[in-house]
Amino acid sequence: MQILFYHPDFDSARWVHSLEQAMPGTTVRIWQPGDNAPADFALVWHPPREMLAGRHNLKAVIALGAGVDSVLNQLKQDPDFIPAHVPLYRLEDAGMGKQMQEFAVSQVLRWFRRFDDYQALQREGRWEPLEEYQSSDFTIGILGAGVLSKRVAESLLPWGFPLRTWSRQPKDWPGVSSFAGNESLDAFLAETRVLINLLPHTPQTEGMINQALLARLPQGAFLLNLGRGAHVVEDDLLAAVESGQILRATLDVVRQEPLPANNPLWRHPRVTITPHIAASTRLDDAVIYLAKLINALKQGAIPPGQVDKERGY
């Protein structure tokens, strides 16, 4: 079996070694310009057109992350970027779920216990116990109901917060209220104190977190964006923070990455920026996941993680 590998930032040689160890009898080669030799699978991140176009014998293209935005954007510009019959897969949860859980729980508890408020008081030299939030009033709403959203919800359940999710189709998750479809969005937002975004990036979700949506949350709500930067209209968010409609926001993803140094999000005292580190692709976990995925595809199965190229996830 022949596998092509391309990632502009990873230690590719280390990945090749680990993949070949996990799949005996497999040859993994780092793609270089001019490499047109046959391959069965392509493992990619931001791949050049030359790598994939015309490879009609590929059994699958597999993105080395949970997001496939770059591949789908290239497909919109160039429908022949990947042959139409070649399926596209993503890593649904190759260790990313646990990382997302860590990030979400730590941030929610930071807000719930008012640590940011106490830090502000410390800067002023003020010893002032604040009114406690009640977990029963600290409803957490998750936009999106994919694999990572489910893992985040599971990690928050033990803390006693009311949990709800909103998605295209209803979900049946223990302890989590399900809201589905546009007609239920107002009801979902009306009591959501902490909004966690884990939506896929599609034409329908582009700019969805805007002035109109933020205004439907309770005043003084919190926003945690773990999805995509393109979901948030940043000027609308800044205005909502300034007005107090959004008390605090944490953004792990932004529309332009890296975030330019002159962007006002950096300097707002009630906005926290992290550089897209909520969940990274870690070699050991990813190799185990990829070996199982490729083995299933070789056996003719359709494993989880296949991307609907039209729908965008």
Per the residue annotation, which of 7, 90, 151, 228 is the catalytic one? 228
Q: Do 61 and 44 contact (CB within 8 A), yes or no?
A: yes
The closest of 23, 99, 22 to 281, measured between CA atoms, is: 99
Tokens of 208: 């969805």
Cα distance between residue 67 and residue 305, in whole Å: 11
CB under 8 A, 24+ apart: contacts of 263-272? 263/234, 264/238, 265/234, 265/238, 268/238, 268/241, 269/120, 270/116, 270/241, 271/237, 271/238, 271/241, 272/248
Would residue 17 show up in a list of annotated catalytic residues for this protein?
A: no
Q: CB neighbours of 54 closer than 8 A, spacing ≥ 6?
A: 80, 83
Tokens of 48: 């050049």
Type of residue found at 16 = V
Would residue 164 show up in a list of annotated catalytic residues for this protein?
A: no
Per the residue annotation, which of 164, 193, 201, 276 is the catalytic one? 276
Active site residues: 228, 276
